[in-house]
Amino acid sequence: MPTHWKRGGSLELITVKDLSVSFEGRTVFQNLNFTVEDGDYLCILGENGSGKTTLMRCILDLNVRYNGEIVTDGFSRKSIGWLPQRTEIKSDFPASVQEVVLSGFAGKGILGLFYSAAQRKEAQKNMEILDLTALAKRSFAELSGGQQQRVLLCRALCAADKVLLLDEPVTGLDTAATHEMYAQIKKLHQSGMTVLMISHDVDMALTQATKVLHVADHDYFFGSAEQYSTTEYYRRVGEGIK
């Protein structure tokens, strides 16, 4: 297994303190507190509209007004790799897989879209990790939905120093592509990457994630997946997987 990202014990990478967000008089969440440690795989659960994507945008510092504090230790929020639920790259984007992957480095340094030898080498390594080497010269537009999503995951990986944020990365994928995507994310986590992922898949959260954050009705749970399985939150949403 590659050791591309080095873990540093129980170092707290992200600390969220008393975070509150309101839109047009409606409180999305209030006094939210949790920490993400180096090597965590945190699954963020909750109903639609509970603020999961808003929370990710707060962590990424993407034009969301909030009260409270978000502290990162040892890295910039700009160096977090992000795979949004709806990417800005259209499925018919006229570029090769390699070009899309390399675009993850855009904005790093002063070279713009002219990538360094080191960045090209890292992109190649990331494509090997995600089993994309054979597709490098293929047009992104010609790929299946599952393959395209894997390419976009690889692009986010190029942008990431230590942390990946994934917003429902299997949305719209069939069963086989969903299993493949989860397997690739698990591989990245086992290789040393810290992962935060929004999901509606409670079964996956209990079997794959190390920690769970469930946001609901101005309240929340944060703890291990094992602890989550004993909560009322799980009993409300998890009965369907038994």
For position 240, what pLDDT does the model report? 41
For position 1, what pLDDT does the model report? 30
For position 241, what pLDDT does the model report? 41
Radius of gyration of the chain measured on its C-alpha atoms: 18
Give the dihedral sign, CA 6/9/162/171.
Answer: positive
For position 109, what pLDDT does the model report? 57
For position 56, what pLDDT does the model report? 94
For residue range 91-122, list pLDDT tens digits in order. 666 799 999 999 999 866 555 557 889 999 99
Contact 186, 208 (CB under 8 A): yes
For position 3, what pLDDT does the model report? 39
Regions of the chain with pLDDT less than 50: 1-5, 240-242
197: left (phi over 0), alpha (psi -120 to 50) or beta: beta
